[in-house]
Structure 1
């Protein structure tokens, strides 16, 4: 025996006689010669396994040892079974099998043919206990929700149809295949609509409510004029926003005045009393003090600005000192419309007849959307139009082309169009100026609108001179 083996061996003597040497147990274990089995460290069941995507839905702790609800070392698992966290067993709900709570055993069971067959037939409905579990959103889930909200807001801001979002999400996933957030986006037109109405819209409404509760503001309202069974009232608010240090106008609410389901209200109509009642009801339902209203603006119809029975008169009674203002743009439009009634009817009829003559043409490239653009186009194309309708009248002898032919050859009609071409831009520019989001009443004189109209050629008569004096 070598010296190394003699050193590593232990010799015993009995009765003065030398016995054989015994090898230490740790050496035998190292060489694989030991008859004793190595001790295996027992593992405990870990609840973190249940959140693993490979084990989620079927893995739970074994419910062999029950505890009271007040016990410290217990947890609530599927179907209201209270089990010990110290249990060394795990259970598969799909196979109804119990096995040792070791990760290797769990993985092997998940790969077994029996389990794969059972997991396909397993019901996908959640248990009652799952309803009481609070789902913790991870950072990735929050980023996916944030992306869905931003996409819905983008569609709303740019007035894009929600029908396009079904294709938009698939395009995003194809463009960014390596993005986990893009893969997790689930947004169709129904969900996008609900996100805008119940998430973005409600959040913005609550933020505006908080601002109106602590700030003085003005109401700007306008009722719908379309022919429908539902009558609505749009309400905007204007106030000084301290954060931006500027006067801000925001859309607040769309109030339904009546619907087709209530014929009595529909027959009553959008009266001043009903409009005032619905406005006050909406403000009080949001716990906004009525005393915070310091201004009111709307168009000049009788229900809004009548002297005795209107929304403005009722607001003056309820809130003494309130500032009321008619819409300047609407007033300018009424002035221009009333002044145009002094012109011959043939001027307007000629513009309509020319449009109706060309509206079915496949070569038509523009649509006349306003009176000014119509006048500009007719003045610009007066001679070509006159020659065209002259030839058309001589060749086809149509009644429609005959009326246009006579008007285009009437010099007095052309003079009226030249006058409209000069005066209408002044009203249009003034109207656009007042459509600004900012307060511009103080800049009116500096912009020269008043001086331009006052000092024009038409105002150099005695009437204007008397007005100056």
Structure 2
């Protein structure tokens, strides 16, 4: 085979091989799709982006020092947000130094599991609380007591607070079939929007049913006596 023919064949092979390329538009689409299913990471990024505001410039030497402090806070928040082991922060710090060799912040970042633990316990814990807050209690006028009608009223109330039904993570109601039934109920409508919904019936009613079931083995006279004692003192 002639040398020129060999070079032409090599050139043709190189032209037929697909060259992977990622345009700016493709990257934006990928980021957009990622944000739709990874809302937890999105909320983490939004929360950590405000760290540069809360750092007091008067105690910081320069902007680079502030950036290093913010990087420490974001890394510690990442561990707390995703329930990661404290041991992983040692590896994250090292891999950031390797991946971002041109970054002065990554080069200056010194965050071990001991320091990360102290930041979470003594800094982040003061501003991040895990508690239940009643944001609102509404009385709704309901013309019909069907599951579909009750769900429509519930969804209307959520809309007023800009909360989508798919973002509801917990649901608790009395044990009536219209509220907690396995087929046609408000719980089932919520599960259709969020299959990972955690639902619980009325705990007081559930405990009462347990007590009734346990008392079934007792003589009827004893059960009546206990009820009479309760009625007398009430």
Tell me whether the two structures share a fold, i.e. TM-score over 0.5.
Answer: no
Q: Structure 1 length normalisation: TM-score?
A: 0.21
Higher strand share: 1
Higher helix share: 2
Q: Structure 2 length normalisation: TM-score?
A: 0.40
User: Which is higher, the Rg of structure 1 or of structure 2?
Assistant: 1
